[in-house]
Amino acid sequence: MPESTTFANTTTRDEHHVSHGLEVGSTTSEDYEEKARSLLNASLVDSPDIEEGIRPNGQILRYNKISNEFAAMYPTGTIKTYFKPMRRCDAPPGYPTRNTHGAASNYDYFLRECRRP
Amino acid sequence: MNNKITCPVCGYDGFDHLPQQYDICPSCLLEFGVSDVDWTHDELRQDWIEHGAKWAWGSQDIPRPANWSACRQLLNLGYRVTPSDLLFMGITDLNADELARAQNRLTSAGKVCVGERRDGYQIQPSDVTVGSVFVISSGHVNARLSKPDAQSCALG
């Protein structure tokens, strides 16, 4: 299991923080990146709430079933995304559609992402 | 000639390469391969517009290009804003030419008003001026017009 490092660059990190920072409770993009790294580097033995999946394209996905955190990284360790999945039907008024999904549950969303090519 | 890639949701045309999964559009924050898995580009565009069509959804943390205009950018997709879009967006980022075109569209579309206040006043295209502010709340469009006699009101 590769160790996660950082987003590809600070621009990408900042864009993801702007889009998802509020939902994961991070106030700075550095804090956002650290939270993503923490999920991706957590020991699966010590953290039974975290599940890991490998997509057919090699990307590594992790999901914490209790905190509802989702993250993805390349096999090289480059962080690709980090957010809290939200079902559209559970989203509060005004919540952006772009950050919602149509899966039956947030866990189903994770399972679906693991299967996607 | 502009060889850059255009965002299919908002028309941002500053991508240097074909966006990969998890890349984010700095303008509308579309996350490729995430946001557009369950929702169409049309649905995502409408949601962005209904939230005001602001650069980075109003965040100051992503540098906004000089003279950026949502309406101008949407034209990259061939999308022309509708009168209701203007209500959602406000038109404070339109210059005089764009404003004139928008007002002409309001008229030429056969819509002599952009809405009706609860007191029956028909809002005219001429009421829509630079500086007009429109606020959406609780399912109503609340328009604060720049006319001297205008006041915050609910449409529809």
Helix (H) or strand (E) holding A33: helix A29-41
Which A-chain residues 66-95 have CB contacts (< 8 A) with chain B? 72, 80-81, 88, 94
Q: Does B61 touch chain A (CB under 8 A)?
A: yes
- The pLDDT value recorded for residue B141 is 39
The tens digit of pLDDT for each residue in A60-83 reads 999 999 999 999 999 999 999 999
Report chain A's mean pLDDT, rounded to a whole number.
96
- The pLDDT value recorded for residue B4 is 73
Q: Does B60 touch chain A (CB under 8 A)?
A: no
Q: Does B50 touch chain A (CB under 8 A)?
A: no
CA distance readout (Å), B72 to B81, B93, B101: 9, 10, 12
Would the CB atoms of B48 and A12 count as touching at under 8 Å? no
> Can you tell me the mean pLDDT for B14-20?
90
- Structure tokens, B106: 């309001």
Report the SS3 class of residue A72: strand
Q: Judge whether residue B135 has pLDDT over 60.
A: no
* Chain A residues whose beta carbon lies within 8 Å of the beta carbon of residue B15: none
pTM: 0.76
The end-to-end CA distance of chain A, in Å, is 20
The 8-class DSSP code of residue A30 comes to: H
The pLDDT confidence band at residue B87, using thresholds 50, 70 and 90, is: confident
- The pLDDT value recorded for residue B1 is 47
> Can you tell me the mean pLDDT for B145-155?
34
Count how many pairs of residues, chain A against chain B, have C-beta atoms within 8 Å. Answer: 56
Would the CB atoms of B62 and A98 count as touching at under 8 Å? no
Please name the residue of chain A whose CA is at the shortest distance from the CA of residue B35: A98
The pLDDT confidence band at residue A3, using thresholds 50, 70 and 90, is: confident
Closest CA to B85 of B58, B50, B120, B115: B50
Residue B107 to residue A30: CA distance in whole angstroms: 50
- The pLDDT value recorded for residue A4 is 72
The tens digit of pLDDT for each residue in B31-45 reads 999 999 999 999 999
The pLDDT confidence band at residue B96, using thresholds 50, 70 and 90, is: low
Q: Does B111 touch chain A (CB under 8 A)?
A: no
Q: Among the listed ranges A51-60, A78-87, B86-95, which one has the minimum average pLDDT value?
A: B86-95
> Can you tell me the mean pLDDT for B34-61?
95
Distance from CA of A97 to the nearest CA of B (A): 7
- The pLDDT value recorded for residue B126 is 59
Name the CA dihedral angle for A86, A80, B52, B78, rounded to a multiple of 10 degrees: -120
- The CA-CA-CA angle for residues A62, A67, A70, to 5°, reads 30
The CA R_g of chain A, rounded to the nearest whole Å, is: 14
Which of B24, B34, B57 is nearest residue A96 as measured by Cβ atoms?
A: B57
